[in-house]
Structure 1
Amino acid sequence: MRPEDSGWTPPPPDPDQPRQLRRILRLFRPYRGRLALVGLLVAASSLVSVATPFLLKEILDTAIPEGRTGLLSLLALGMILSAVVTSVFGVLQTLISTTVGQRVMHDLRTAVYGRLQRMSLAFFTRTRTGEVQSRIANDIGGMQATVTSTATSLVSNLTSVVATVVAMLALDWRLTVVSLALLPLFVWISRRVGRERKKIATQRQKQMAAMAATVTESLSVSGILLGRTMGRGDSLTRNFATESERLIDLEVRSSMAGRWRMSVIGIVMAAMPAVIYWAAGLALHFGGPSISLGTLVAFVSLQQGLFRPTVSLLSTGVQIQTSLALFQRIFEYLDLPVDIEEPAEPVRLDTVKGEVRFENVQFRYDADGAEGDEGTAGGSVRAPVLDGVDLTLPAGGSLAVVGPTGSGKSTLSHLVPRLYDVTGGRVTLDGVDVRDLDFDTLARAVGVVSQETYLFHASVADNLRFAKPDATDEELHEAARAAQIHDHIASLPEGYDTVVGERGHRFSGGEKQRLAIARTILRDPPVLILDEATSALDTRTEHAVQQAIDALSANRTSITIAHRLSTVRSAEQILVLDSGCIAERGTHEALMEENGRYAALVRKDARIEPPASHHESAATLRGDRGKSEEEPERSPSGGLAPTPAHGWTPG
């Protein structure tokens, strides 16, 4: 996949480069005290190093010709001390500048991560995970040299150049003019090279983001399973090789852009001592002003000392222009509009009863392709996903939402915890618009258990404590017992310290669901949203998970998004959605008597879902009656088989 196909398309680069440079400089503002100290060290180091040619001049013109050994010793000692002081100052300035640079990178990483945490679900449905990871890892990592050494290099080299030029003028202004005649041409060349490398750097970072997205998607557990079962391993490898080839080309182009022109600058600068000697010899031959040997050697020494900082300054200019492409990509994320903001004066509820109301709620996805669980915008304006939804769910009540695929069920559940904001009407919690609540209150009040259970690659205990970091072991055990999963965890060799694997793949679907339920029980929210939490499970596993859900739902306000209608019959209210509108509402019995859409869905569900007795009969024929879906398969040796679907794998 090409970088431009990676999902979210960034805006065109900002042409206002001076404004961008000012923004970069503001990143260093919190550390201006340390940078000032670095500047002093750099200035002192540059001045000390410039003194060395003058000491050399005195040695050649005075101390040696006049045989003054005492003066010779002092001047030689001065040259040695100059080298020592310059080195010590260089180490100190490197330490301070590197520390400042790393702090700036830390600030950028944290700012980008914090910004992304505030983005709505719509952003992540249209942006590849690898693209996001690349911004934080590759782009900010690529700026390391710029933020850790560029400022110091700029100040150091600029100070050295200025001090050296002043010293050269003091020795002989005519030779100085000859030495600096081509400098404007060199500056122009370096700026051209910088613009070329900036353009290539932008393409290179996009390609790196595309590769990161490919790796993230294809080398995850789910990606490996899909690739193996579809026989696409070789094809994926070839695609990755193609992406890598593109990156090779961009890396070579970036490295070689302007290389010949910069080499010409180096050759000219290296040849300048010969030009100086030639000019001094011609001046002496044609009767011009004579130049002492000490002055000539000192001048050439200064001129050669000017070569390194001048070339470094030109290279720094190129590096800054290249880094602007990386800063631009980071600033794009920092400038993303946050469409779900905490209000300026948020309402905080110390106690949440759990009454939920939808008042004439309307919602439509953005026209740019934002998508939800039940459909994707095709780049054009969509019809409302929800239109005129009115309902009241009293505290402690239970609501089931059913309807065909695409009717808006999951979208309705996303509006309560503000994963999306309504585009019309309002959703209230205990009479307060959820958009007016502070994020902490909303997070404490609303718990979500979805069909897509997400577990971190960590221990069972760590996954549970994500809901309550200070939970005791006993609290973990109580939550697991309520979720009907404690006995299984306790039977594992490492118990609650068992690592669940990436996305929990070492556990079965039912086990993962019950771990998610235990995590939510630990959170203890007064409002519970169950978004098709059992739709991917077989009937017998669903029964076990449903027991855990019943324990979780007790004495809470619950909203159940149902796929299997057998799980919602006991709900106090059943809402039938169709094309975003409420088609029917009532209890199971009342809706069955109406013989409308709900009754039709129940009959259809009954035809699709085999009865529990069928599963039991099948289990009897297999000779394993009583064996639950959660019990791990056994290897021929009697141990646990090493399958990723179960709770533990050996070794």
Structure 2
Amino acid sequence: MATTNRPPGSRGRDAGTPRRPSAPQDPADVPVPSDTAAAPRGAARVSAADRSQLARHPVSVRRIAALFAPHRARIAVVVLLISASSVIGLAQPFLIRAIIDVALPRQDVALLAALAGGLVAVAAATALLGVVQTWMATAMGQRVMHALRTSLFTHLQRQSLGFFTRTRGGDVQSRLTHDISGMQSVVTTSATSVASNLTTAVATAAAMVALSPRLSLLSLAVIPPAVYLSRRVALLRRDITAARQGELAGLHSQVEEGLSVSGVRLAKTLGTAGRDADRFAESSERLIGLEMRSQLAGRWRMATMGIVFAAIPAVIYLAAGFPAASGGMTVGTLVAFTALQGTIFRPIMGLLNVGVQWVAAMALFSRIFEYLDLVPDVRPPVRPRAVDPARVRGEVRFEGVGFAYDGGEQVLRGVDLLVPAGSTTAVVGATGSGKSTLGSLVPRLHDATAGRVTIDGIDVRDFAPEDLARIVGVVSQESYLIHASLRENLRLAAPGADDARLWEALAAARIADLVAGLPAGLDTVVGARGHRFSGGEQQRLAIARTILRNPRVLVLDEATSALDNSTEAEVQAALDRLAAGRTTITIAHRLSTVGRADQIVVLDGGRVAERGTPAELADAGGAYARLARAAGLALPERFEGAGAA
């Protein structure tokens, strides 16, 4: 087929999602993973949200340890490398002392060269160990997170539509992406930093004591106020950062809502573009103040702490000048000790944050495990019935079917209905009568809470999900096309289908000519949610996709209710072609589309009020006749006469 002449319509454009800027952090700030994406924290209190999450869904350490059990050997090697790197790094001050106290005064060139080479060797060894340790820890963390991420995605796929109806899509995405990314930070950064900080702090303190016990006591007296000041600054910045991240989240939502295809269409049709721009500007203006406060927060405290740290070496040098304090300390020892004292603050700050890091990390695991522990409303059978979908006749039967959403009021009550193989049954009724719910039970989008639904005498709950998906096809009012090419969208139904088979399906759906006229043909990208095509075109593409699936049972859930009369006629013709020879259950909003059904079922309050052929129900003068008259549908003359009588 030709692939020229007609360009695709351009109905929308993808809205880019801006990346949130990260907060500049002071050296005193130690990031702590949290359940809030992209919200850095300094040394801080435990988040109330984290405590609430853990209280709602506790996490056992054993369960977390099980995730890392396959990597025990790698973990041991990483800890060993961290310890070795910390210990080797402490050799540097002692080498410097030897250079100052021995090599330089004696002018021993050979010793000086050896000691200088030792400094280089120590730096090279610690750098190499750091690279290897980072590589191993990252690889391990990525493997653990990969397993957790895929397990969560697979488990969420098993949830019923009810779960996604009552759960915000943003929350699902946040847990699947942001929370697991935060856990990655816990695994590869926080966990390794604990070992590194502990080893460094202990080894540094031991080395300081070995160099000068007296000066070590002096340093211990200075460290507490420095730690206190740092934590105060971090606490102050945490509150400001939380406010800033909240404002950024609101700004992000405005971008996502206002610059999506639907959002832009809504703004243009309602004339809200100016108001949206003003609201965005106000939010952006508030960010200026928050950014200023974030940058200036605690600066006077930081300045005070800077003076304290500048004074520490001065105090040490002063103390070293008094014989009672120095104990005959050499210049090299003094320089080495000062270097060690300057490095002990950071690991101590890291260790002080262990408790907060632990609770935050456990909260992240809790959020993930909370979803993993969800029991699906629609569970796959333990022992599915072995069937050949190609040999299924397609007889559908509802036996005493009842259904209620989340234990609420009954939507369906005692529905008994037979849909013979190869026949067409239309289900009609007022809004809220349970039509769509009844249709959703056949492909197991929901499970009946009473009674059962069978296909060829087999309960649909006994089919393997893959087999049931091949047996039952669904075309709904809202067709869904992914942001990919037409070819990729069609092959969702039949991954191995060649182009010839795709064109046959498009022809059967009466849309082959349109696709053939596009410059890129089957390679045309449909756009976000298929907005490059009209509603009727999207429906016919969805029908072509269902044709490729070739199901024996077809559920048409108000597939034409949102279309204009002309487009409805085109889509209805494609649906008639699709329904030929299949068992078809049509959920109808417009009675004009059900005139050729083999039987019509009228639902009223979740019960079957009437059933029969269109002519029989028209003659009966019951619920169907009242619906038809309300819709302005012409009825046979004999019924009109009977009604007049």
Equivalence for 2:641: none
What CA distance in whole angstroms lies between the structure 2 residues aligned with 1:330 and 1:263?
Answer: 41
Aligned partner of 1:461 among 477, 482, 487: 487
Q: Which structure exhibits the higher relative contact order, with contacts defined as CA atoms closer than 8 Å and separated by 6 or more residues? A: 2
Equivalence for 2:550: 524
User: Is structure 2 residue 408 aligned with structure 1 residue 397?
Assistant: no
SS of residue paired to 2:348: helix
Aligned partner of 1:556 among 559, 568, 582: 582
What CA distance in whole angstroms lies between the structure 2 residues aligned with 1:287 and 1:521?
Answer: 90
**TM-superposition CA deviations, 1:341-371 (whole Å, max 9, x none):** 223333343333322222222112237xxxx
Q: Which deviates the most, 327-336 or 502-511? A: 327-336
User: Is structure 2 residue 563 aligned with structure 1 residue 547?
Assistant: no
Equivalence for 2:28: none
Q: Which deviates the most, 43-52 or 258-267? A: 258-267
> How far 1:72 sits from its partner (Å)?
2.6
**TM-superposition CA deviations, 1:487-518 (whole Å, max 9, x none):** 22112222222222222222222221111111
Code of the residue aligned with 2:258 in structure 1: it is S
2:319/2:325 contact within 8 Å kept: no
**TM-superposition CA deviations, 1:44-76 (whole Å, max 9, x none):** 221211111222222333333344333232222
> How far 1:585 sits from its partner (Å)?
0.8
Pairs aligned (count):
587
SS of residue paired to 2:90: helix
Equivalence for 2:380: 342
Aligned partner of 1:305 among 335, 343, 352: 343
2:59/2:366 contact within 8 Å kept: no
SS of residue paired to 2:611: strand
Alignment of 1:59-458 (within 5 A): 59-141=99-181, 145-181=185-221, 212-241=252-281, 268=308, 271-282=311-322, 284=323, 286=324, 289-314=327-352, 329-351=367-389, 352-366=392-406, 381=408, 383-458=409-484
CA distance 1:16–1:232, shift in 2 (3 Å): closer
Query: What is the TM-score normalised by the length of structure 1?
Result: 0.79
Equivalence for 2:499: 473
Equivalence for 1:635: none
1:130/1:215 contact within 8 Å kept: no
Structure 1 runs not aligned, ≥5 long = 368-380, 610-651
What CA distance in whole angstroms lies between the structure 2 residues aligned with 1:107 and 1:586?
Answer: 54
CA distance 1:425–1:18, shift in 2 (3 Å): closer
Code of the residue aligned with 2:429 in structure 1: it is G
Q: Which deviates the most, 553-562 or 83-92? A: 83-92
What CA distance in whole angstroms lies between the structure 1 residues aligned with 2:365 and 2:287?
Answer: 20
**TM-superposition CA deviations, 1:159-201 (whole Å, max 9, x none):** 2222212222222333323323465677778788888888888
What CA distance in whole angstroms lies between the structure 2 residues aligned with 1:600 and 1:350?
Answer: 43
> How far 1:454 sits from its partner (Å)?
1.2
1:186/1:265 contact within 8 Å kept: yes
> How far 1:254 sits from its partner (Å)?
7.8
What CA distance in whole angstroms lies between the structure 2 residues aligned with 1:193 and 1:425?
Answer: 64
Q: Which deviates the most, 186-195 or 533-542? A: 186-195
What CA distance in whole angstroms lies between the structure 1 residues aligned with 2:499 and 2:557?
Answer: 28
Equivalence for 1:498: 524
> How far 1:582 sits from its partner (Å)?
0.9
1:153/1:316 contact within 8 Å kept: no
CA distance 1:58–1:505, shift in 2 (3 Å): closer
> How far 1:473 sits from its partner (Å)?
0.7
> How far 1:595 sits from its partner (Å)?
1.1
CA distance 1:183–1:421, shift in 2 (3 Å): farther
1:355/1:430 contact within 8 Å kept: yes
Query: What is the TM-score normalised by the length of structure 2?
Result: 0.80
CA distance 1:220–1:555, shift in 2 (3 Å): same
Alignment of 1:14-29 (within 5 A): 14-15=54-55, 19=59, 27-29=67-69
2:397/2:416 contact within 8 Å kept: yes
2:430/2:604 contact within 8 Å kept: yes
**TM-superposition CA deviations, 1:82-111 (whole Å, max 9, x none):** 112122222232333334444444445434
2:378/2:447 contact within 8 Å kept: yes
Percent identity over the alignment? 56
CA distance 1:595–1:201, shift in 2 (3 Å): farther
SS of residue paired to 2:601: strand
CA distance 1:294–1:195, shift in 2 (3 Å): closer
> How far 1:258 sits from its partner (Å)?
7.7
2:57/2:366 contact within 8 Å kept: no
1:197/1:321 contact within 8 Å kept: no
What CA distance in whole angstroms lies between the structure 2 residues aligned with 1:252 and 1:112?
Answer: 40
Code of the residue aligned with 2:446 in structure 1: it is Y
What CA distance in whole angstroms lies between the structure 2 residues aligned with 1:277 and 1:124?
Answer: 66
CA distance 1:397–1:477, shift in 2 (3 Å): same
What CA distance in whole angstroms lies between the structure 2 residues aligned with 1:175 and 1:445?
Answer: 81
What CA distance in whole angstroms lies between the structure 1 residues aligned with 2:232 and 2:366?
Answer: 19
What CA distance in whole angstroms lies between the structure 1 residues aligned with 2:222 and 2:315?
Answer: 13
CA distance 1:491–1:76, shift in 2 (3 Å): closer
What CA distance in whole angstroms lies between the structure 1 residues aligned with 2:633 and 2:621?
Answer: 17
> How far 1:450 sits from its partner (Å)?
0.6
CA distance 1:287–1:319, shift in 2 (3 Å): closer
SS of residue paired to 2:630: helix
SS of residue paired to 2:339: helix
> How far 1:145 sits from its partner (Å)?
4.4
What CA distance in whole angstroms lies between the structure 1 residues aligned with 2:312 and 2:56?
Answer: 38
Structure 2 runs not aligned, ≥5 long = 1-35, 37-48, 636-645
What CA distance in whole angstroms lies between the structure 1 residues aligned with 2:185 and 2:73?
Answer: 21
Taking only aligned residues, the RMSD between alpha carbons, in angstroms, comes to 3.7
CA distance 1:565–1:184, shift in 2 (3 Å): same
2:59/2:365 contact within 8 Å kept: no
Code of the residue aligned with 1:58 in structure 2: it is A
CA distance 1:500–1:73, shift in 2 (3 Å): closer
Q: Which deviates the most, 125-134 or 82-91? A: 125-134
SS of residue paired to 1:64: helix
Code of the residue aligned with 1:303 in structure 2: it is Q
**TM-superposition CA deviations, 1:574-633 (whole Å, max 9, x none):** 110011111101111211111111122223333599xxxxxxxxxxxxxxxxxxxxxxxx
CA distance 1:475–1:407, shift in 2 (3 Å): same
CA distance 1:214–1:267, shift in 2 (3 Å): same
> How far 1:230 sits from its partner (Å)?
0.7
2:227/2:349 contact within 8 Å kept: no
Equivalence for 1:377: none
Equivalence for 1:604: 630
Q: Which deviates the most, 70-79 or 249-258? A: 249-258
Equivalence for 1:629: none
What CA distance in whole angstroms lies between the structure 2 residues aligned with 1:139 and 1:256?
Answer: 30
Equivalence for 1:647: none
